Structure 1
């Protein structure tokens, strides 16, 4: 199959996902987590094992639309995160329901309550953007030095593609965007560039011996030579992250979910985006 030469198909698929994500973000907005919107966090010691459904039955009475997490060594505590700014009286009303159902003691089992604004989220977002920009600039310089400028530009385009695709997925499926998401995106950037460089290294070697072939033919051969390696690496990575997502606690799942999306997107871009972009830029430059 001519992967690089069919670049219009892959570009169209990616563009369609991005446009759909943009439309969803404009019409209904991103589902920003409490870290970005501000709100209230409460932690109670239930004193025994419980299910999240039990807790949601209580929080739904107050229309909190809350994120609920297990906490504590034996998962006998609960953390409730809601975007609503609850007064002290409202917090106590919520705790009274827990107190009645689980026979709790206010002094011992009401562990903490905190109310905060969106400043924390804005700071995390800004620092994440700066980190991504600095990392991208460093990668561009390094890849341009080790390979060529067009390799560096293609790699950065692939990174931007990965980030936008993951954001689009979160926008389309209304998955909460929170602090673990930001950490996962930064991890995705590092993983994606590693896969892309493997393909580029093979591409650079083939350039020396395939001087009569078109750039798209060279890209296709390089992709096929590294395809098994890329797929095997991605599968082993996905198995580990998948296990974390299935068996991990809620806070780990929040980190594992964007990683799953990012690994899949990074593998896709290293095969279907980065090399075709390089071949297209070389062909245009040649003409």
Structure 2
């Protein structure tokens, strides 16, 4: 399969990751349907696309005509059942809840896509494949936030994932201008385990008063040349997402992935990072963005 064959893409979920995946696919010239049943989130998705296109035009990455064409390639539907049958690729990008993903993946499989992927950060692809009628066409396709900036996509091969499915996934990733690595289906894969363990340790350092959030992040950026510190990155990812992944990996890998009480308390208080306007750092209030 060539990139020209990937001419019909759908993304399930209009949150931060779903919008990012839709944007980079549309930037690569692919028409993308985004399934998002929540009207407020759908409007937020449209706003994010407008803002990102405007930013790209302002930085000279796109001209006005190219930006307008990109935005037109992204459409919105309210339900999986509204998607056309036999799409080239459907990518599920919804919250890290097994029950929710199993339901959505079963509904996606009923649309008979040539390829079906989950953007899960930590859940077992073999477990999720139980909802899929043809697990040979199913794999993990783990993008990173912000999707438009980070060049890596982690492909997760389940026990039944076929060589043809992996090959097609690699073609898709390359068409996006990104690179892929392939890992086997071990909870947390490779990147989530490395990323999460650093973030949890940074939270424990903050919790015990080692240094401020800003200085912990500066240490990571200046000493190890990370582009962003672990606490700021956690705010961007979403502290609720961090907590869900930590609990998943703690159940499998043990105490080293135990979420700090600080993280548990912040999520309970609604301090989720960028999406709520407050996390380890203060962020612009998302409810005050102009439409």
TM-score of the superposed pair, with normalisation by structure 1: 0.26
Q: Name the structure where helix makes up a greater proportion of residues.
A: 1
Query: What TM-score results when the alignment is normalised by the length of structure 2?
Result: 0.26
Rg larger in structure: 1
